[in-house]
A and B are shown apart, each in its own frame.
Chain A
Amino acid sequence: MDFNYLTIIIFLPLAGAAIIALVPGLSSRLIRYVAAIFTLVPLAISLGLFAAFDRSAGAEVFQFQEKVSWIPAINANYHLGVDGLSLPLVVLMALLGFLAVLISWKINLRVREYFAWLLLLETSILGVFVSLDLLLFFIFWEIEIIPMYFLISIWGAGRKEYSAMKYVLYTLFGGALILAGILGLYFTTDPHSLSMVDIAQTDLAPLVTSIPLAAIFFLLLAGFAVKLPIIPLHTWLPDAHTDAPTAVSVILAGTLIKMGGYAIIRICVTIFPQATQDYAPLLLTLAAVNVVYGAAVTLKQTDIKRLIAYSSISHMGFVLLGIFALSKVSLVGAGLQMFSHGIITGLLFAVAGIVMHNTKERNIAKLGGLARQMPAIAVIFTIAGLGAMGVPSTSGFTAEVTIFLGAFSSNVVSGVPIFTIICLLGILLAAAYILWLLQRVFFGPALAKFNHVIDADRLEKIYCAIFIALIFLVGLYPMILTDVIKTGIAPIAALFGG
């Protein structure tokens, strides 16, 4: 590759942020357009890469690679590349980054800072997905904390400062463990290496180490688990989601928590196949807890955003199930679920944001009958809800069915079918909380106090339509993604005989 596509994708938003922050005298309107352009171009390039990605059997696993020596003293490289696992997430982030700008169009408070932080956030998340060097990966992983802190604590709602600080501390503690794990890994390899690709190809087991490999595995896993999140490390998520501004909730649910799932596959599973297999039953237990407990708690929520946030925890349980069932199909399902959850929950948060913005109300008990006043929103919300329930023809269905089929048939870990059956409960509970939510918010008698409430405007309809089109596209023609995801999963599944 002569042309540094990936560098351009990840640093264009940063360039946009720099322009917005540093060029004096930009009007709010102009700032919004700058932000839109600097997210639209990376989206276009990422779609181009998606189209150009070589899906054939003999193709290289990591494509569009860039590698420049960065800190020779510790053998750190500026090494980027995408495979079938990360490419869909890159596209997803680029898409959500652009949509987040549209969703934020009505932000009027400190516009300049808002869009600068939003674009910086996009750069850091994209960086996480394309880094193939552990140090570079970790740097992007940590950079994301700063924009998130400001975005939640300034433009959020409710106990925003508390939630922002909670988010930062959880992430930093997770990051601390990851850093310790990365260092442990670095000194285990000989010669010392920070390259994910090289380490994954080395058999670590015979290396003499002072630190047990399982310890490194758990240090890294614990750090990633905070992000996914895996219960009991999840308590930051409902707070952060609830109090974050809408666009940030979309990104948070859409891609930020996927960093955890992605990193577990890319680092924990790929580099430590033995430990992964040994401890898979433990992780599957946690997955089942995530699914069932998350869904049960979702039922009890009274705040519309908090409800969606808890449903994310349940859905991430499916991802965890797909990963640690360790069969090829279930891993592909996990990748698909990450993408699918990103668009479905992204849409749910986006519409919930519109509902809250237009009605000035977020308590489910006080909402009701909105289908009369905002019919378009009701339809959009219902479609997104159906996706979250996993109704056939939506992406949610395809992803979850792939996970369940893969997990059932997995012969890598014993006892997977039991966990799978427990997790199936999650689907049932999802139908319950989604339908009940729809009923309480949109149906029933119309309330007089909402008579003046307006429906979605044109811009809102446009971005919702993009989400919906994607939900059905992936639901009806999943090949478009699974083709790509398979190329990334195949070498990983091969580690477990899949």
Chain B
Amino acid sequence: MNLELLLPELSLLITAIAVIMLDLFTERKGLLAVVSIVGLAIAAGFAITMWGTDPQAIFNNMLAVDNYALFFKLLFLGIAVLVILVSVDYVSKFVHFRGEYHALVLLATLGMMLMAAATDLISIFVALELAAISFYVLVGFLKDKKSTEASLKFVLLGGIASAVLLFGMALTFGFTGTTQLPEIALAVHEMSAQGLLSNPGLILGIVLMIAGFGFKIAAVPFHMWAPDVYEGAPTPITLYLSVGSKVAGFAVILRVFYSAFALPETLSLDWGMIFAILGAIGMTLGNVVAIQQANIKRMLAYSSIAHAGYIMIGLAAIGLSIGLSPTTDTLAPLAQSSILFYVVAFALADLAAFISVIVISGKLGSDQISDYAGMGKQAPLVALALTLGLISLIGLPPTAGFIAKFYIFSDAVNNGLLWLVIIAVLNSAISAYYYLRVVKVMWLNEPAREGKVPSSLALRLALAISCLGILLLGIVPTIVMKLAEMATSMFGF
């Protein structure tokens, strides 16, 4: 047993249970947030101490402890801290179940951390469901009409997606005889030597897995749930879905496709092109539909669909780079860390945007973009933060979004995907239209009502952290790039 390698996860689990127990015995519910954050910090501390150690496989190759997993674990822990911070005001509206709320957020985090570490189809599925079920409940937490509808929709569609994913995994298992990613890779390699690779069953398995994972990352055409769920869910949970769940989905996809289906290169070329096409469709559809949205949460939902498209450019580039470099026997270390940088930059920008939305909509009681009129006067700092977040989402300098786009596009151009990059850069220009519309409404239009917009210390702290992050990554990106490179070069299994 290598339990010490699982310390971050275990400490998080213990915290979650402790939060539920504490909820029974204390009247000071504010304590729950404090305990959650302490638990997250402890988990992060354990994760940091493991950074840079040699990759290890634990529990019969079910999980990997490598820099790649740790990178994502730390990212999720950081995001979870911010989610708890921004929930402080939000949950004070709930009479019941505040303990459960925090515990579920922690459990979702735990699920996502395991997703990043899982190296076996079974552990991947279990981790994924742990995160998904926590989210199903959290989405319905408001218990009003929209929230309930969102939750129901999420459960039903999520259930179907899980079934599709499971079917894909079953087919893959059927053809390769194993559920462990490295062994799948070996089996696939052998099949190709015997000329069995064109077997439609295995290809179907891979395609179904893409569909199942595509649901998690809200990739077109598996995105239908996202706008409704984003709109109906409590905003901190929308935020968590957008930055947490999506990033976790990408973490899994990258590991599965890179470790199991990378060789022979024809296979990489195949899924590389699938991701390229899905990405092109996704960003175009997301951006075009976002233009018509009047509700800011729906707009950000479509924006995050579009960003899933941009991130898939990175996946396509990885697929093509393996496919184009003729190394048949051994897999070169993953050269591209641009996806990792991109998800961090995207998470920061989306955090800044959603936290500002929480502050402003909390005061207005409305998510309509037109109601944001005059926020530049009423809440200049929050409006500035939202503007910064949106500018980063457009990908304008000097923000993290720009460097991230430059980095991911450069990987794509390097692998002969100039056409995709041209579609993507034109898409960024389209996206400016709807992002700047919000900016315009805030700074140019006159406020409908008088009065300041209050914001709690916790919210301001969370907002400050994300804004600083955006600027830091935009101006001196080297540190995070180094970390991302370390994460991909120590990609264990």
**Residues of A at under 8 Å CB distance from B?**
70-74, 135, 138-140, 142-143, 145-146, 149-150, 153-154, 161, 165, 168-169, 172-173, 175-177, 179-180, 183-184, 186-187, 210-211, 219
Contact = CB atoms under 8 A, between A and B. Distances in A.
Main secondary structure of the interface of A (DSSP, over half): helix
Contacts of B410: 74, 183, 186-187
Nearest to B410: A183
A180 B421 contact: yes
Contacts of A139: 397-398, 402
Interface stretch (B125-133, B424-432, B463-471): B424-432
Interface in B397-447: 397-398, 402-403, 406-407, 409-410, 413-414, 416, 418, 421-422, 425-426, 428-429, 432-433, 436, 439-440, 443-444
Interface string B75-88: 00000000000000
Interface stretch (B24-32, B54-62, B66-74, B477-485): B477-485
B325 to A, nearest CB: 14
B14 to A, nearest CB: 38
A120 B386 CA distance: 19
A147 to B, nearest CB: 12
A143 B410 CA distance: 20
A34 to B, nearest CB: 19
B209 to A, nearest CB: 30
B428 A142 contact: no
Nearest to B337: A73
A161 B440 contact: yes
B397 A143 contact: yes
A154 B376 CA distance: 12
Given A165-B433, A180-B421, A146 B391 contact: yes
Contacts of A169: 429, 432-433
6 A-B pairs with least C-beta separation: A176-B425, A172-B429, A139-B397, A183-B413, A173-B429, A176-B429
Contacts of A143: 396-398
A257 to B, nearest CB: 19
B414 A71 contact: no
20 contacts: A70-B478, A73-B485, A74-B406, A143-B397, A146-B391, A161-B444, A165-B440, A168-B432, A169-B432, A172-B432, A175-B425, A176-B422, A176-B426, A179-B425, A183-B410, A184-B413, A186-B413, A187-B414, A211-B413, A211-B418
Is the contact region of chain B dominated by helix, strand, or loop, or is it mixed? helix
Given A169-B429, A184-B413, A72 B422 contact: no
Contacts of B413: 180, 183-184, 186-187, 211
Contacts of A186: 410, 413
A169 B421 CA distance: 18
Contacts of A176: 422, 425-426, 428-429
Contacts of B482: 73
A183 B416 CA distance: 11
A74 B407 contact: yes
Contacts of A219: 422
Contacts of B398: 139, 143
A179 B409 contact: yes
A210 B418 CA distance: 9
Contacts of A180: 409, 413, 418, 421-422, 425
Contact of B396 (A72, A145, A183, A210): A145
A325 B40 CA distance: 66
A276 to B, nearest CB: 21
A142 B397 contact: yes
B109 to A, nearest CB: 30
Contacts of A142: 396-397, 402
Given A142-B397, A143-B397, A179 B406 contact: yes
A142 B428 CA distance: 13
Contacts of A72: 478
B433 to A, nearest CB: 6
Nearest to A219: B422
A153 B436 CA distance: 12
Contacts of A135: 406
Contacts of B428: 172, 176
A154 B478 contact: no
A154 B443 contact: yes
Contacts of A211: 413, 418
Most B-side CB within 10 Å, residue of A135, A146, A180? A180
A183 B409 contact: yes
Contact of A73 (B409, B426, B444, B481): B481
Interface string B449-467: 0000000000000000000
B485 A146 contact: no
Given A168-B432, A179-B409, A184-B413, A173 B426 contact: yes
A165 B429 CA distance: 11
A146 B397 CA distance: 10
Interface string B362-398: 0000000000000000000000000000010010111
Given A71-B403, A179-B406, A180-B413, 10 more contacts: A140-B397, A143-B397, A145-B396, A169-B429, A177-B422, A179-B425, A180-B418, A184-B418, A210-B418, A211-B418
A216 to B, nearest CB: 9
B397 A183 contact: no
Contacts of B436: 149, 165, 168
Contact of A146 (B396, B403, B429, B444): B396
A438 B396 CA distance: 42
Nearest to B387: A146
Contacts of B426: 173, 176
A74 B402 CA distance: 14
A7 to B, nearest CB: 14
Contacts of B418: 180, 183-184, 210-211
A73 B418 CA distance: 21
A48 to B, nearest CB: 28
A138 B398 CA distance: 10
Nearest to A188: B413
B390 to A, nearest CB: 11
A210 B477 CA distance: 29
A71 B477 contact: yes
Contacts of B443: 150, 154
Contacts of A179: 406, 409, 425
B379 to A, nearest CB: 15
B429 A175 contact: yes
